[in-house]
Amino acid sequence: MTTRLQAVILDWAGTTIDYGCRAPARAFVELFADFDLHVTDAEARAPMGMFKRDHIAAMLEMTRVREEWARIHQAVPGENDVERLYQAFIPRQNAVIAQYTDLIPGVIDAVASFRTMGLKIGSCTGYTRAMMDTVIPAARAQGYQPDVTVTPDEAGAGRPAPYMCYLNAIQLGVYPMWTMVKIGDTVVDVQEGLNAGMWTIALAQTGNELGLSESEIDALSADSLAQLLSAARRRLHGAGAHYVVDSLSEAPRILEQINTRLDAGEKP
């Protein structure tokens, strides 16, 4: 049995595309506004990485959002409201998603390094397959094409359940799970990888935890950026990530460190 890494499983928005993970955050804010409820960017981002229907349910469980919904709609939100919001969310997300498919800088070189290391490349997401039908061709046109993409509606559940990782492993033909690394930018990405028995690398700068575009980051002072990154790293370390770096471009050197640990008999 191999003691070297065989595959990585990459998230999409905030990890390989859509610097700042802006498409879903924007869609959730606009969705709730359609139902006369203002939610903050932070509230929209808190459950990020989940299957989008689960994300809506999690937002409706937030105390402020739940109480405000009850005040506006004269009833506490229930399952029918979750479904109603989700059905309204689908076309809104589809309309927004095409605007946020640019690859994050460094992704092409990082993926090339993974290939040079002999790794297979899987991927998973909080988007449905129908949503990914817009994203995948756009990424391919820019030179990025993982070997496998699995969506929550195909796996039976989204994060933090490990099923998308398991289905990636099956489709990639890779085992055991500890020879694979989950890389993503949210707390539930980390939880998903841990639940699957994988190594985990979390990205602090390019994704949801910072939630800023490149131009917004460039406008920050060095001290402000350092404070925001420190807080993002703490959240991701707190979720149990084995490693936290700023972007995917830093992942190849981490994978070499993991290989060293595997050679020494360590497992996640």
At 3, the pLDDT band (50, 70, 90 cuts) reads confident
Q: What is the pLDDT of residues 67-86, one digit of tens each?
A: 999 999 999 999 999 999 99
| pLDDT attached to residue 1 | 61
**What are the residue numbers of the active site?**
11, 52
Helices (DSSP H) in 19-146: which residue ranges?
A: 22-34, 41-45, 52-61, 63-73, 79-97, 107-116, 129-141
Whole-number average pLDDT of the chain: 96
| Statement to judge: residues 135 and 119 lie in one domain | yes
Q: What is the pLDDT of residues 124-170, one digit of tens each?
A: 999 999 999 999 999 999 999 999 999 999 999 999 999 999 999 99
Look at the chain and report how many structural domains it folds into.
2
Percent of the residues in the chain that have a pLDDT greater than 90, as a whole number:
97
| Statement to judge: residues 54 and 12 lie in one domain | no
Q: What is the CATH number of the domain that holds 155?
A: 3.40.50.1000
The pTM (predicted TM-score) of the whole model is 0.94
Residue 110 belongs to what domain range?
Answer: 7-21+100-263
Once rounded to an integer, what is the mean pLDDT over residues 43-62? 95
| Statement to judge: residues 52 and 182 lie in one domain | no
State yes or no: pLDDT of 255 exceeds 80.
yes
